[in-house]
Amino acid sequence: MSKQALNTVSISGQMGKIRKRPSVTAAFHWEMHKAGNLWYWLATVLFDAIGMFNGWDQYISYRRDFQSQGVTWAAVWGQAILLPSMVFMPILVAAFAAQIEANEHRGRNWQRLNASGTASTAIAGKMLHGLFASFLTIVIFELEFIVVGMSEGFSLFQIGPYLLRAIPMIMSAWAIMTLTQAIAARAESFASTMSIMLLLTLAGCALSVIAPSLAIPYPLALITTASAARDLGNIASASSIIASTVVSALWVLIGALIFRRLIRKAI
C-alpha cells in the first residue's frame, strides 16, 4: 500500500474517532427527550397561579391605597412571589431533578457511562438541561406576573426591575437543581432525596422568616433572596441582583463539583 493510501486510512480512522466522541449537545438533547416531566410544568403553572392570586388579591383589597401612592407592580410582586419562592419552587425544582436522577440509578446508567468514559459528557448535558429547565420555570412565573399586571392596567414601562430579577432567580433555581442532583447521587432513591430536600426547604423557610440576613447565602432560600420578596425596596438594586447571581453561581459550581465527584465513584 502506498504512503498516500496509508495516510488516507489514518486520517479516515481519526475522523471516525472524532465522530464517535460524545457530544455535549447530543447529551443535552437526550436529556430533553427522556425527561418526561409534564407533571412538573403543570404543577409550576398551577402553584405560580396560587402565588399570583395572593398578589392580585392584596392589590384588589388595598387598591385605593396603592393607587394613591402610585404603587402598581410592586403591590402584586411581593405576595405573588413569597410563597412560590419559599416553598413551591424549591420543592418542585428538587422533585424535578430527583426524579430524573432516581431513574438513572434505577437503571444503573451511571455505571455504564463511567465504563464507557462518557460520564463527564452526560453530566455536562444534565447541567445544560437543568439551566434550561430553570430558565423556563422562571419565565412561566414572569409571564403570569405580566398577565396579572396588564389585566389591572399597569404600565409595562415600569416592569424592568422585575424582569431583571429573573436573572438571579434562574441561577437560584439552577443551584437548587444542581444540589439536588448531587444529593441524589448519594441518596439514589427519589424518596430519600426528597426527604432531605424537604427538610432543607423547611429550614430555608425558617431562616427567611427568623433571620433573613442568615438566609441570604443559604441554597434553599436563594430564590427568595433573588426575588427580593422580603426586600422590595431594593427590587431595582443592581448590587443586590449581582450579589444574588454570584452567590447562586457559586452554589451551582459547588453542586456540580460534588455531583461529578460522586458520579465518578459509581462503578
- Percentage of the chain with pLDDT > 70? 89
Rounded-to-integer distance, Cα 77 and Cα 166, Å: 12
Q: What confidence category does residue 20 fall into, taking pLDDT thresholds of 50, 70 and 90?
A: low
Rounded-to-integer distance, Cα 208 and Cα 234, Å: 16
Rounded-to-integer distance, Cα 99 and Cα 94, Å: 9
Cell of 31: 436529556
Rounded-to-integer distance, Cα 49 and Cα 31, Å: 27
Residue with cell 384588589: 60
Rounded-to-integer distance, Cα 48 and Cα 140, Å: 8
Cell of 148: 396579572
Q: Is there a contact between 209 and 151 (Cβ–Cβ < 8 Å)? A: no
Q: What confidence category does residue 14 fall into, taking pLDDT thresholds of 50, 70 and 90?
A: very low
DSSP string covering 65-95, please?
HHHHHT--HHHHHHHHHHHIIIIIHHHHHHH
Rounded-to-integer distance, Cα 43 and Cα 33, Å: 20
Residues 137-162, mean pLDDT to the nearest whole number: 95
Looking at 62-189, list the stretches that DSSP marks H as alpha helix, in order from N- to C-terminal side: 63-69, 73-83, 89-106, 109-116, 119-151, 160-164, 166-187
Q: What confidence category does residue 21 fall into, taking pLDDT thresholds of 50, 70 and 90?
A: low
Domain ranges within the chain, ordered by starting residue: 24-264
What pLDDT, on the 0 to 100 scale, is given for residue 5? 42
What pLDDT, on the 0 to 100 scale, is given for residue 77? 96
Rounded-to-integer distance, Cα 26 and Cα 183, Å: 25
pLDDT tens-place string over residues 67-96: 889 899 999 999 999 999 999 999 999 999
Identity of residue 109: N
Flag whether pLDDT at 12 surpasses 50.
no
